[in-house]
Structure 1
Amino acid sequence: METQDLNEQPMTRLDNKTITKRLYQYALRAKKTFIVALIMLVIGVGAELAGPFIAKNIIDNHMFAIEQPFYETTASDTNAAAYNGKFYKREGLWAEGATKGTEAHVLQSGASFYFVEGPMQTTTGEKTYANGKLTISSPQGEQAVYNAVPLSAGELFSFYKPELPSIYKLIGLYFIFLIISIITEFGKTYWLQSSANKVIQQLRIDLYAHIQRLPVPFFDNLPAGKVVSRVTNDTEAVKDLFVAVLANFSSGTVYMLGVYVALFILDFRLGLVCLFLVPVLIAWVMIYRKIATKYNKIIRSRLSEINAIINESIQGMSIIRIFRKQKQTQDEFEQLNNDYLFYQNKMLRLNALTSHNLVNVLRNLTLAMVLWYFGSAALGGFDSAISLGVLYAFVDVLGRLFQPMTGMVNQLAALDLSMVSAGRVFELMDEEGEAVTDGSMPRYKGDVQFKDVTFAYKKDPVLKNINFEARQGQTVALVGHTGSGKSSIINLLFRFYDPQQGKITIDGQNVRDLPKQWIRQHMGIVLQDPYLFTGTIASNVSLDNEKISRERLEQALRDVGADTILADLPKGFDEPVVEKGSTLSAGQRQLISFARALAYDPAILILDEATANIDTETEALIQSALEVLKRGRTTFIVAHRLSTIRSADQILVLHRGEIVERGTHDELMEIDGRYRQMYRMQTGIGSNAVPDGTERPEDREVPVPAGLVGRTT
């Protein structure tokens, strides 16, 4: 059953003209190799099409040339044929102005050849031999009778013998063109595909670089699997456009152009007969693409959705198994896969009903027309007919015309799929990204001020009139129920988003006036679930930053107590880390993220539930390290465990996007307010629930992305 396509992301749809123009601009980046490939292609086409002309020359000027008049000569040379003690030279082999002797002819009737001495009125028409007489009947009913002598095989060979040196030369020339064709075919294929690889390499680099510049809100609505699909599957389909489609269409176009030139050189009438193929092919391409584009857009969309569900399933495999969601996940995957198969089969039916069938019909129709019109006339001996050599060359050249046509038609499916994929890639690249500003700014002190800040992800504000100030070296804790706005403040601080009202300043300067990368350069974050990259423990601390020496990262690891916790690892700080650090414990991963923050020495440090996943023993070990880490820095702590923020210089209690209480731990405990009730609930001193503490859908907020200290986006 046909299902409706799902919108992955509201993007501007590009037309084929725009896509083609942008692909052409990318192709220009490898224009030198493309030009070399095109030159090779033209030379190869010329060399290959020389074959039929050589064959025509052999047939018309040598094999059937013995039906031209012969003249007796007294000289015995390589161009003369010996017969009955006399020498005869064919008309085309006489030097200009030479004296010719008695005229003679060698004519064929059926499978036998006959020698006729003397001039003849005509040599064309139906020939019959009987009783030493050769009768030639014209189409108009006139007859001419001549005395003729049958030729034996040896005598006939003597007339062909003078033709052999020229035939051998032509055959040698044919092999030379064949070698040229082989060399140019290799060069064309190599240079064309190497050019395509360079183009796709640059396209992937540009696409990946643009993804790094896309704002965080863009990824809120587009699953990671769909982004991966565009970087991998769609760019690979674009590669097929340059490697297979472009190779077939460019070579096919040049080849067909060369074939038409050859057809008109052979016979002007033959070329005119075959011109009808061009509009038929163009019309077919337009009709096919109109139908196929609709299917291919859905096919690429379904493939992205399949990648997205696979990516999500792998990341959440433990949850799927714990809650026994395998069957539901499998059903969702099968539904997408079946839908993908449905449209793939539609494309297969479209290709099976057309492509090769179309070319066969056109080939047979053209050959039938030519053989009917020209072939019958030639065999009948009419003067208006073409020679057998021309007819042979034409059939050969015409067969070569349909070879590239078959390749072009069979590549229509890949062409349309590649254009759809290219459109998806360029649509993603057209998404507005964050400006990247080179350079850096001096490390700021870290005095942060929020003034009348109001912010909403969509319509409903998640922060309302937020006002607070954090001085250098102070620790500010953000507490409140889920959805109260804690992570939204951090998002604004990192400038993943900007507020709709109010302003945020760092050292008195509005953050909107500073490049985002410069601000983040001196910020660090430690998340509740830290993100580790594939590499080693040491590389995850330095993130391959050349400014962080080996001594500095090892000192950072020791300062946070990692040398004790990681001491049991076989390779110590050089222990390999797999994706997300899944082979390390939660405490080990957290220690590495603490060391990372310390090594980058940020002016503003954010601890987002940094000790929530750490056991009590490990937490005690790093509490002292935290004091070292926070020293001299403005620190923001997002905390649910209130016991970890008792020493904070300022605690901001948020509820539904507003700061409802603020002060130190002791000051807030003196007030019988929300903070005191939360603290009593966690410590067991009281059992009163937090008023209105139930999470509402509108209170939910986008969590802080897995940002990296010192990394710019």
Structure 2
Amino acid sequence: MRKPSTEKRLFQYALSSKKTISVALICLIVAVGLELTGPLIAKTIIDNHIVGIQTHWVEVEEQNDNDTISYDNRFFKKASRLEEKDQLLGYYTFLQSNRQYYLIEEQIPLDSSIQATTDNESLVVHYNNGMNSASAESVPIRDLYRFFQPEIHPIALLLALYLGLILIAAIFQYLKTYLLQVHANKIIQRMRNDVFKKVETLPMNYFVKRPAGKILARVTNDTEAIKELYVKVLETFVNGFIYMTGIMIALFLLNRTLATICLVLLPILLLFMKFYKKYAGKYNRIIRSVNSEINASINESIQTMPIIQAFRRTKERQEEFEQLNDRHYRYQKKMIALSALTSFNLVNAIRGVAFVGFLWFFGSRSLNAEAVISTGLLYAFVDYLTRLFEPLTQIVNQLPQLEQARVAAGRVFELLDEESEEIDHTPIERIKGEVTFDNVSFAYENDDYILNNLSFRVTPGETVAFVGHTGSGKSSIMNLLFRFYDPQKGTIKIDGMDSSTLSRQQVRQHIGIVLQDPFIFTGTVLSNITLNDPAITREKAIAALKAVGADQFIEKLPKQYDEPVGENGSQFSTGQRQLLSFARALAFDPAILILDEATANIDTETEGMIQEAMNILAEGRTMLVIAHRLSTIQHADQIIVLEKGQIIETGTHDQLIKADGNYYQMYKMQQNGLKAG
């Protein structure tokens, strides 16, 4: 089945809360609609109330309302506001020529170009290219206010209306921003949870093949890049497209021809976005990949810094890092060049084309006398055209972030698409602890078998030790028992049940493990024992610590059992950390306990405490021990000697010593080494 595209999956995440998105979009549409009333209100103020005094007027007998003005002992009123109750005395036209205003005693076309002359001390204006004339009087600038007086109140009302609409729009903009931002962060929270949950279900083989830094980059850096998509880019695009849609509607309401010219420019943006996606996507994939490698390199360097410094390899390590960093820089430079060459220049070019078309339209003679565009319309159109390029600029400038997020999302979805292990935490009855390997063969890679037809049986409550040289298959046995891996051949049974019929979680419910290098989590001493499992009480955890002897050093700490613990318990010695891991295993009370070379790094002085802790742990449970120090397994019920994935010897310590075989040779070498030391 073909998987959905990255864009579709990102969209599905965005629609995780349709109700929130719908309310936010409604708020956005309302806010945009209210904001875009500004130029229309300005057009009305200019055409009807500021420039609108240059229109046809009538002289009336008396001043009976606020629309009537008094001038030169006469009363005038706009012809458009004439009412039936008004007694008409004459018709006039109020027009401007250069810096002079004239009250013409006749109704002439408002688009007339007039020229005033003095004839027998009377003022005459000529219009229609001088073909017609009419008597007129010049209106002094000081009296011009009288003609504006009726417009003050409607202008104030319109400005108050616009201010009110802006305040209401601000409320809707706030709600829109709040809802989209909260929703965006909710999406990222969900995505990060999905990614981390996925990581916890991946098979062990996935982690073996990939550096921790690369996996970390997908969980942190890549999801952070996607966060910018939802928090900033998505809002910019949604806001921009709705804003531009509103502006185009307004432009079409003002003038269809001019709006069509602007509409033609939008496909240019879409073509550019397609072009940008092609090249930016390629560069971003490399950048994100190299960034993961940088994270992996840094992570490895920090973890191995003592080795790097001890072997004086800092210079070589620095050179390796510089190579990665240089590659990252080169592709970032290509991205910058692409953005600088196209993004900002593109918007400026489109803006230039739009204004050239606008000027051509107004400068051409394609408009007839009836289609002359008013000053208010001109202002409104320029205002809308200017506003059109604001969201366009924001959208284009967000394209680099969009491509980064798209590539990062592809990497995250690639992780989410990895095949997971089945999760089933259904409790099963406590097992007795019988373990059987029946002709088990296992290989990590292809047919390179680590274990070959391995068979043995461990009875409940028995302590069995596995010894052998490096690569003999000791740790592989434990990996199979824990179901970190499954064998290619044979069966592994626990209490007679084939472990493959149980989920991995069910297998691990009653099995504990203590590793050679115990991991101590950040928290407190107590939280490292309980692992925040509510089933492990404080009293039970403290009892486990005392049982293995860890109380001897813990109770000397300032806060004792509540003492804060740093990363990997660096304030404790290796032996102390191992005692904490023994106490952790004891607190969880597993039916089967695996000790994976748990005493390998312990000094001789601490070995006695560890041995005593092991004896306590062995009570009432099956214990499987991978041993490096043979002195720690002399009391084991059974010792299995491995070589190249096969059992070559088995028996108790005394039996194997008497047999004078491989075990005896290994024991003899260790004893001689201790004497020599």
TM-score calculated relative to the size of structure 2: 0.95
Is it true that 1:457 corresponds to 2:444 in the alignment? yes
Q: Find the counterpart in structure 2 of residue 151 from structure 1.
A: 139
CA apart distance, 1:197: 0.9
How far, CA to CA, are the matches of 1:185 and 1:260 in structure 2? 20
CA apart distance, 1:574: 2.2
Q: Find the counterpart in structure 2 of residue 108 from structure 1.
A: 96
C-alpha change, 1:167 and 1:566, in structure 2 (3 Å) is closer
Q: Give SS of 2:236's match.
A: helix
User: Could you tell me which of 451, 464, 471 is aligned with 1:483?
Assistant: 471
8 A contact 1:125–1:381 mirrored in 2:
no
CA apart distance, 1:236: 0.9
Q: Give SS of 2:647's match.
A: strand
Q: Find the counterpart in structure 2 of residue 295 from structure 1.
A: 283
Give, as a single letter, the amino acid of the residue that structure 2 aligns with 1:340.
H
Moved more, 111-120 or 285-294: 111-120
Give per-residue Cα distances to partners, 1:219-274, cap 9 Å, x unaligned. 00111111111111111111100111011100001000000000011111121111
Q: Find the counterpart in structure 2 of residue 53 from structure 1.
A: 40
Moved more, 21-30 or 264-273: 21-30
Q: How do 1:301-700 and structure 2 match up within 5 A?
A: 301-374=289-362, 382-459=369-446, 460-684=448-672
How far, CA to CA, are the matches of 2:464 and 2:455 in structure 1? 13
Q: How do 1:91-130 and structure 2 match up within 5 A?
A: 91-95=79-83, 100-120=88-108, 122-130=109-117
Is it true that 1:201 corresponds to 2:189 in the alignment? yes
Give, as a single letter, the amino acid of the residue that structure 2 aligns with 1:387.
S
How many matched pairs? 669
Give per-residue Cα distances to partners, 1:282-312, cap 9 Å, x unaligned. 1111111111000111111111111111111
Moved more, 97-106 or 63-72: 97-106
C-alpha change, 1:127 and 1:685, in structure 2 (3 Å) is closer
How far, CA to CA, are the matches of 1:234 and 1:374 in structure 2? 51
8 A contact 2:61–2:87 mirrored in 1:
no
Give, as a single letter, the amino acid of the residue that structure 2 aligns with 1:51.
G
Q: Find the counterpart in structure 2 of residue 702 from structure 1.
A: none
How far, CA to CA, are the matches of 1:376 and 1:321 in structure 2? 78
For the aligned residues, what is the CA RMSD? 2.0
Q: How do 1:154-303 and structure 2 match up within 5 A?
A: 154-303=142-291
Q: Give SS of 2:358's match.
A: helix
How far, CA to CA, are the matches of 1:306 and 1:73 in structure 2? 86
Give per-residue Cα distances to partners, 1:669-690, cap 9 Å, x unaligned. 2323222221221112999xxx
Q: Give SS of 1:569's match.
A: coil
Give per-residue Cα distances to partners, 1:563-597, cap 9 Å, x unaligned. 22434322222222111111100010011111111
Structure 1: state its 5+ residue gaps. 1-11, 688-713
How far, CA to CA, are the matches of 1:234 and 1:28 in structure 2? 20
Give, as a single letter, the amino acid of the residue that structure 1 aligns with 2:523.
G
Q: Find the counterpart in structure 1 of residue 61 from structure 2.
A: 74
Q: Find the counterpart in structure 2 of residue 134 from structure 1.
A: 125
Give per-residue Cα distances to partners, 1:532-587, cap 9 Å, x unaligned. 10111111111111111222111111111112243432222222211111110001
How far, CA to CA, are the matches of 2:259 and 2:394 in structure 1? 21
Moved more, 426-435 or 398-407: 426-435
Give per-residue Cα distances to partners, 1:49-81, cap 9 Å, x unaligned. 100000110111122222321122123021112
**Which of structures 1 and 2 has the larger relative contact order (alpha carbons within 8 angstroms, sep 6+)?**
1
C-alpha change, 1:97 and 1:221, in structure 2 (3 Å) is farther
How far, CA to CA, are the matches of 1:356 and 1:127 in structure 2? 47
Q: Give SS of 1:424's match.
A: helix
How far, CA to CA, are the matches of 2:57 and 2:593 in structure 1? 105
CA apart distance, 1:275: 0.9
C-alpha change, 1:674 and 1:327, in structure 2 (3 Å) is same
How far, CA to CA, are the matches of 2:145 and 2:369 in structure 1? 28
Moved more, 240-249 or 175-184: 175-184
Moved more, 620-629 or 554-563: 620-629
CA apart distance, 1:664: 1.7
CA apart distance, 1:163: 1.7
C-alpha change, 1:272 and 1:670, in structure 2 (3 Å) is same
Give, as a single letter, the amino acid of the residue that structure 1 aligns with 2:541.
L
Give per-residue Cα distances to partners, 1:155-209, cap 9 Å, x unaligned. 3222221122111111111211221232222222222111111111111111111
C-alpha change, 1:107 and 1:462, in structure 2 (3 Å) is same
Q: Give SS of 2:624's match.
A: strand
8 A contact 1:30–1:198 mirrored in 2:
no
Q: Find the counterpart in structure 2 of residue 695 from structure 1.
A: none
How far, CA to CA, are the matches of 1:285 and 1:521 in structure 2? 53
Q: Give SS of 1:652's match.
A: strand
How far, CA to CA, are the matches of 1:620 and 1:368 in structure 2? 91
Give, as a single letter, the amino acid of the residue that structure 1 aligns with 2:278.
K
Give per-residue Cα distances to partners, 1:374-407, cap 9 Å, x unaligned. 25659x9943332221111000011111100000
How far, CA to CA, are the matches of 2:449 and 2:535 in structure 1? 41
Moved more, 648-657 or 238-247: 648-657
How far, CA to CA, are the matches of 1:539 and 1:670 in structure 2? 46
C-alpha change, 1:686 and 1:70, in structure 2 (3 Å) is closer
8 A contact 1:67–1:105 mirrored in 2:
yes
Q: Give SS of 2:487's match.
A: coil
Q: Find the counterpart in structure 2 of residue 90 from structure 1.
A: 78
Moved more, 624-633 or 260-269: 624-633
8 A contact 1:522–1:604 mirrored in 2:
yes
How far, CA to CA, are the matches of 2:278 and 2:93 in structure 1? 62
8 A contact 1:112–1:151 mirrored in 2:
yes
How far, CA to CA, are the matches of 2:613 and 2:220 in structure 1? 43
Give per-residue Cα distances to partners, 1:98-128, cap 9 Å, x unaligned. 66441111111111111110233x3324322
How far, CA to CA, are the matches of 2:163 and 2:553 in structure 1? 76
Give, as a single letter, the amino acid of the residue that structure 2 aligns with 1:136.
Y
How far, CA to CA, are the matches of 2:415 and 2:242 in structure 1? 34
8 A contact 1:252–1:407 mirrored in 2:
yes
Q: Give SS of 1:496's match.
A: coil
8 A contact 1:375–1:391 mirrored in 2:
no
Give, as a single letter, the amino acid of the residue that structure 2 aligns with 1:279.
P
Give, as a single letter, the amino acid of the residue that structure 2 aligns with 1:144.
N
Moved more, 322-331 or 251-260: 322-331
Moved more, 458-467 or 78-87: 78-87
C-alpha change, 1:383 and 1:377, in structure 2 (3 Å) is farther
8 A contact 1:296–1:420 mirrored in 2:
yes
8 A contact 2:468–2:474 mirrored in 1:
yes
Give, as a single letter, the amino acid of the residue that structure 1 aligns with 2:576.
Q
Give, as a single letter, the amino acid of the residue that structure 2 aligns with 1:395.
V
Give per-residue Cα distances to partners, 1:461-499, cap 9 Å, x unaligned. 111000000001111111111111111110000000000
